[in-house]
Structure 1
């Protein structure tokens, strides 16, 4: 296990190539799960945990890791499964989502794989709304579930999604003439709900798509009707999405003469690994980390 993530900081060369690297792990049983390596800070044997009062039942306790107190979440129990019993023989995946750092307790960690986003598919339609998958893929002839971690975290600590009144007034004052909708692309049901609520609070109509491929198809459909900037205010896209990621979507927009002038905001939980050079590389106008409604509103205001 030592050294499995030594090269994480060198993996940014995948940016804009519609590829990602998944860290594979198991909970209880044979089913494999995956998490984007970009969101992983460290993998370690489960340390000593300290319980604290009034904690959520899915939080096993807290651990002091490199001088930081981190909550350790039993991700199996959080999804309604059996809790992981043998904590001492388990592992913790330290991850960063939406500007917070937490540890996910897992039974075992396998390896890192490199895959193309085109081979990452949406969950089966029969999976239902209560499932915790954001995508699936096939590795070694077996189905790997990529978890909707944003949904899991939101159920433990719901995100604040109300925009300040003064920002609402400022944005409303910039909307002139006929209001043009905003198109959003995000594979997480929780993220779509959060973004939709924020934009509606600002007075916008919203067109919702679940991944980059569907977003691009919708954009082309609108462009066939007439000038795209007369139909949309902007595009707000996640980065991680099955079939086509946000980088590739942005590149496709910039390479399409009928779409190239669209304002594109990348809005993702992949915080902490981006900078201005990466934004410029893929051609996005702006990048904001999830999820803070006032910052999303400020980005929309800047676009207007």
Structure 2
């Protein structure tokens, strides 16, 4: 399964915005089945020749030259605490775009694309051995499928700068006493939640953290029942891909609710590209920011509270 597996990906965009996604399923060296959102996948190919380089992170098997780009290839079995994948030349690489860059994920085998509803994608159960590497789980053909926290794995290999620059911090203004001091942040990745929290707090706002769109909507409705949401909350920052309810659907639900409809919503995702700009407009979000740039995020918060 390599050649035509992603041929129709551009025709699949209608799924997004209907709380649906498609998972590309794969296996590592164990029986366990994994999934990755097709929208993050650029290509699936037989593992090309890998070049070892000095000072590579232990989880990086080597680099490959793919369509004019040099791409790091990460052993996903090693990255999740399993054994190294042997015979890479007989395995597959999933080329994916995360957080503004391309990576290759070395996997044992690639299976098929499955059309799913985000409501069927659930937060990982607590206490499972690899739970800290998962953002979600689902069931396909009576078999558990794990969705990996790729952002956590990438951050272990190449940590990103999480500090907002002095230039952005200098733009902070004294907040009026009556102005809301809180920002709601929804993200299923523990690493992303920490990064966003740090950026938002550094520009002077308190953060309410939730793990998915469903939890975010419940929290917003709970706050609105206590009094005007606009006196409590400055804005909402939401990931797009999340179990149970994605960020597009969350935004749509916010715009439909008379007590929430004027909230400022920033969608913040490792999914990137022109497609997202169109979807932001379609669901009524105020803006889209690709993960992760602390200055862009800090500036977005400061701009939102001014408007």
Query: Normalising to structure 1: TM-score of the pair?
Result: 0.97
Q: Structure 1: where are the runs of 5+ without partners? A: none
| Cα-to-partner distance string for 1:140-176 (whole Å, 9 max, x where unaligned) | 0000000000000000111111001121121x21633
Question: Map of 1:283-298 to 2, 5 A cutoff?
Answer: 283-298=284-299
1:174 and 1:299 map into 2 onto residues whose CA distance is: 17
1:153 and 1:99 map into 2 onto residues whose CA distance is: 12
Moved more, 87-96 or 172-181: 172-181
2:129 and 2:188 map into 1 onto residues whose CA distance is: 14
Q: Does 1:204 align with 2:205?
A: yes
1:77 and 1:45 map into 2 onto residues whose CA distance is: 19
Q: Given that residues 239 and 267 in structure 1 are in contact (C-alpha distance below 8 angstroms), is that contact kept between their aligned partners in structure 2?
A: yes
Q: Does 1:28 align with 2:29?
A: yes
Secondary structure of the 1:125 match is: coil
Aligned length: 303
1:283 and 1:174 map into 2 onto residues whose CA distance is: 29
Secondary structure of the 2:275 match is: coil
Q: Given that residues 270 and 289 in structure 1 are in contact (C-alpha distance below 8 angstroms), is that contact kept between their aligned partners in structure 2?
A: yes
Match of 1:173 in 2: 173
Secondary structure of the 1:280 match is: helix
| Cα-to-partner distance string for 1:169-192 (whole Å, 9 max, x where unaligned) | 21x216332452000000000000
The 1:29/1:128 distance shift into structure 2, 3 A limit, reads closer
Match of 1:53 in 2: 54
Match of 2:142 in 1: 141
Secondary structure of the 2:226 match is: coil
Q: Does 1:121 align with 2:122?
A: yes
Q: Structure 2: where are the runs of 5+ without partners? A: none
Shift of 1:128: 6.7
Query: Normalising to structure 2: TM-score of the pair?
Result: 0.96
